[in-house]
Amino acid sequence: MHMLSKIPKWNLALVLVLVSEVIIFGLINPRFWNVSILLGSFNDFIGIAVIGFFVTFVMITGGIDISGGSIIGLTSVVVGILSQVVGINIWLSILLALVVAGLCGLLNGILIAYGRVQAMVITLGGMLLYSGIAVVIVGLSGVSASEGISGFSQSFSTIAYGSVMGIPNSVILFVVLLIIAYILLHLSKYGRYIFLTGINQEAAEYAGINTKLVILSTYVLSGLSAGFAGIMLTSYLGSARADFGGEYLMPILTVVVLGGTLITGGKGGVIGTALASIIVGFLQIGMQMGGLSTQYIGLATGLLLIISVAILSVSDEFKSNVKRIVRLKSYKG
């Protein structure tokens, strides 16, 4: 059982699940096989996928980041306030919002890597804090919290609705960020350091790797990716609200874990996360088209999550047991 053979097997299983999903939903409702609808649906889960890519980094170091959802809301509010209330140029607002998202990640990272506090606790506090700050900003600016900030320019909405050569921007962003994440994690030296740190931080430290910086950087990346997701979502929905992304917490963790990344760190990959996010995303539109309530999606993802982890964690023991039984039989036979 070694690294390179186990995870691709898992990815293969994910591809099979994805293919059969497409076939089944298409049989129920042939409209599902319409490529432009499928590609268009990326807008619905791009946020989950993009954050998922970089939460994968975090989880491989042995940490966890549950603050991504609230960073979405904060970024959205910052873009909205800066461009619509303060009146700064929209692109500059976006840049500043991304800086804010990166700073949120930086705070998480500093406290986790250098303060050595459990990631779960810090990002839980961060989750409350960042969405809290977003609510405060909205509250102080006097904008209606329930309606959000709207009135964005046409050029801003092309971020989500535009396309290049017929391919929606969200798909392009998905692919570009996936490629970046893949290169960083699987081809670069930095990515190798992430794995080594996740397997054994002490040993990595003894080998002269600056593990704290490695850990810190993964939270910054995760925060930044949440910033991108926040801007996409704001553009997609045409308004900025503090509670955007609030329900993203569970789906993000689901796609990362379903993608085959070990929650204890040291193993995993972004291809799996990408496949899992497409599976979960298609599941949602497939259910809609099949006339099922989207509320059922939780049942499906919940079961997928538990079953996949059960298989991943039981498989070793299970295999050797099967082998033993087979061997016993062959002795007797």
Question: Which DSSP string corresponds to 190-207?
Answer: HHHHHHHHHH-HHHHHHT
- Where do runs of H (alpha helix) occur along 200-293? 201-206, 211-237, 249-258, 270-289
Q: Which amino acid is at 271?
A: I
Looking at the chain, how many residues does it have?
333
Helix (H, G, I), strand (E, B), or coil: what is residue 163? strand
The alpha carbon of residue 124 and the mean position of all alpha carbons in its chain are separated, in whole angstroms, by 17
- How many whole angstroms separate alpha carbon 109 and alpha carbon 42? 29
Binding mask 24-53 for other proteins (x = CB under 8 A): ------------------------------
Binding segment toward other proteins, per CB under 8 A, in 36-44, 184-192, 220-228, 270-278: 184-192
The reply on whether position 329 binds other proteins by CB under 8 A is no
**Of 278-317, which residues contact other proteins (CB under 8 A)?**
293, 295-299, 301-303, 305-306, 309-310, 313-314, 316-317
Question: Which DSSP string corresponds to 90-103?
Answer: HHHHHHHHHHHHHH
The reply on whether position 99 binds other proteins by CB under 8 A is no
- The residue from 39, 88, 180, 263 that contacts other proteins (CB under 8 A) is 263
- How many whole angstroms separate alpha carbon 111 and alpha carbon 201? 16
Binding segment toward other proteins, per CB under 8 A, in 12-20, 93-101, 164-172, 262-270: 262-270
Binding mask 200-219 for other proteins (x = CB under 8 A): x-xxxxxxxxx---------
- How many whole angstroms separate alpha carbon 310 and alpha carbon 321? 16
Nearest in space to 255 (alpha carbons), one of 38, 48, 59, 6: 48
The alpha carbon of residue 217 and the mean position of all alpha carbons in its chain are separated, in whole angstroms, by 16
* Token duo for residue 289: 């088209």
- How many whole angstroms separate alpha carbon 169 and alpha carbon 164? 7
The reply on whether position 73 binds other proteins by CB under 8 A is no
Q: With respect to other proteins, which residue has the nearer C-beta, 293 or 330?
A: 293
Binding segment toward other proteins, per CB under 8 A, in 11-19, 21-29, 31-39, 125-133: 125-133
Q: With respect to other proteins, which residue has the nearer C-beta, 160 or 194?
A: 194
Cβ burial, residue 15 (10 Å; 0-12/13-18/19+): middle
**How large is the angle between the packed helices 270-289 and 249-258, nearest 10 degrees?**
120
- Nearest-approach distance from CB 295 to other proteins, in angstroms: 5
Q: With respect to other proteins, which residue has the nearer C-beta, 77 or 275?
A: 77
Binding mask 128-157 for other proteins (x = CB under 8 A): xxxxxx-xx-xx-----x------------
- Nearest-approach distance from CB 162 to other proteins, in angstroms: 31
- Nearest-approach distance from CB 87 to other proteins, in angstroms: 23
Question: Residues in contact with other proteins, total (CB under 8 A)?
Answer: 77
Q: With respect to other proteins, which residue has the nearer C-beta, 47 or 73?
A: 73
- Nearest-approach distance from CB 168 to other proteins, in angstroms: 28
- How many whole angstroms separate alpha carbon 199 and alpha carbon 91? 40
* Token duo for residue 300: 């499906």
DSSP state of 240: B
- The residue from 48, 81, 178, 253 that contacts other proteins (CB under 8 A) is 253
